[in-house]
Chain A
């Protein structure tokens, strides 16, 4: 019985962990979110609220995420180019 008690919470922890990762991925690779962030970043830079170096660094990071997310989306679109 003690075995069950030990294993159950671990499973639960893994499940919860997976769920959190899933949610974080959704946010991290959500195209409209990334696009919105890029626009906000550009605006902040144009208003002089952040220095160029910080802007470049953040922009590179967001664009890398954008490329990954767009690639994933394009794979879905391409499924739709196959004849039924």
Chain B
């Protein structure tokens, strides 16, 4: 392609490897780009040469990033995820970056070898949540007290109602944690309950599991879904690299 565009190096993830790996090409904003690796000791960055700019985190771009990382995960069992949209000026810069991050990678590799991350979001169905509110006599009573009153007249009632609704939600979240999260945690190497990203979300969990436990884990998720499917929606995703269990510090280590 003839162009005056300034090119940069986009990085997808880091891997532990002792060989020259090939991960094929990937389409980025309509252009086919060949991926390649930049190696240092037993580590490598998986990268592609792309126009130097800030890539917007739109659906297609995010899927492109995810797709590349998934393809790498099909071939390699030790993958360190790197966030979306990081483009560097040159291969030399990426090589220096890898060298500087290597002490962190060295510690991470054994911890994530053969592991995958799975995500589970549990979202309360509207009908069930409304039913729970009705079953809670205090909330129901307060809600009807608020109804029909002017905003200022019902001011304190509304505050109380808000507090009660919050308590009800906290107890539902707790129930889901005990009934769904806790049994799954037993099969995981590590598990995290993240902050819910919407108001109806009762659980936003990430699990780090051994690849060979994936089938068993799927089965357990399915069992939980059977039990809860009338009340909640399950959003089960993966396998991902250990996004929620790896935290690369963006600082050069002293000494």
Contacts and interface: CB of A to CB of B under 8 A. Distances in A.
Interface of A: 31, 34-36, 38-40, 42, 63, 66-67, 70-71, 73-74, 76-84
B177 to A, nearest CB: 22
Given A35-B57, A77-B250, A70 B96 contact: no
B197 interface: yes
A66 B88 contact: no
B96 A81 contact: yes
A36 B58 contact: no
Interface in B59-110: 59, 62, 83-89, 93-94, 96-97, 100-101
A38 B57 contact: yes
A27 B56 CA distance: 19
B252 interface: yes
B44 to A, nearest CB: 16
Chain B contact residues, majority secondary structure? loop
B85 A70 contact: yes
A63 B53 CA distance: 13
Nearest to B101: A80
B54 interface: yes
B57 A66 contact: yes
Given A36-B197, A74-B86, A80 B97 contact: yes
Contacts of A78: 88-89, 93
A23 B9 CA distance: 33
Nearest to A63: B56
Contact of B86 (A34, A40, A67, A77): A77
B57 A77 contact: no
Given A35-B84, A70-B85, A80 B58 contact: no
A83 B190 CA distance: 35
A34 to B, nearest CB: 8
A38 B85 CA distance: 15
A74 to B, nearest CB: 7
B83 A31 contact: yes
A74 B84 CA distance: 12
B57 A80 contact: no
